[in-house]
Structure 1
Amino acid sequence: MSLMEQFANPETMQSLSIGDKLAGAGITTVMGMGITFVVLILLWGCIAFMTKITYRPKKGDKAPQTTTDAAAPPSAAAADITDHSAIDENVIAVIAAAIAAYEGGSPNNLVVRKIRRISGETTAWGDAGRADCIESRKF
């Protein structure tokens, strides 16, 4: 009689040693977890397969644009706003002074030609701030 057959019978369960009981419990645990993971992997595969079959992009859909130069200086990541009435001259002067201070040059030699807002959930300034914070905490 195998160990798992002895586990099925309550009378023989009492006669098993603690080592046999632990071995049976371990086998039961591994079998249960194994079956669970196999079923989850099969479900994941079915969902991925169904997604490939049913997903049809619309004609106007485009992939989201991502910037590849996240470590570029802020002067390269200037923001573009199409509504120019939203930006006054003081904001442009402050941006020019900040860029000049960052690059260590004179604000007189710097000309801001275009300011555009970068689309996305976070701004380039927010990303740069997070990167600086992470860098300051490294040992």
Structure 2
Amino acid sequence: MNITELMGMFSNPETIKSLNMGDKMMGVVVTVILGMGITITALIFIQFLIGMMTKLLAEKPKSEAAVETSQKTPLKPDVNDPELMAAISAAVAAKMGISPKSIVKTVVEKR
């Protein structure tokens, strides 16, 4: 009996009972090898796809002129931003368990 016939017999639960022990073991081995082979092939294919996506989506290195101009103009934070001051004072007040108004009064008095 060849492997194709054996796999055809494995597809029907009634015919499995009529097989001898050697044919059953051969069918199990073929089934395991096919399952593992398909799984390994799929994983290798997925690894190849991930590698290709990494190469395609990787950031291109910046030119030297763009790097130099970005280094010449440092970013300065806006110290007088009222929204930023409100967020920081609210966070500090929440941590200390006091009102944000008392924090603002203290900061204004020290100026």
TM-score (norm 2): 0.50
Aligned to 2:29: 26
**Pair 1:41-2:67 in alignment:** no
Aligned to 1:8: 11
Aligned to 1:50: 53
Percent sequence identity is: 43
Distance 2:18 2:53 in 1: 51
Following superposition of structure 1 onto structure 2, how do residues 79-98 of structure 1 map, counting pairs within 5 Å? none
Query: Quick check: which has more Rg, 1 or 2?
Result: 2
Aligned to 2:84: none
Distance 2:13 2:59 in 1: 57
Distance 1:12 1:37 in 2: 30
Task: For residue 2 of structure 1, give the secondary structure of its aligned residue in structure 2.
Answer: helix
TM-score (norm 1): 0.40
Distance 2:33 2:14 in 1: 24
- Which structure has the higher relative contact order (CA within 8 Å, separation 6+)? 1
C-alpha displacement of 1:9: 1.2
The aligned amino acid for 1:2 is: E
Distance 1:11 1:51 in 2: 50
Aligned to 1:98: none
C-alpha displacement of 1:22: 0.5
C-alpha displacement of 1:59: 3.3
More helix by share: 2
Aligned to 2:80: none
**Which contiguous aligned blocks of 4+ residues in structure 1 show a shift greater than 3 angstroms?**
57-60
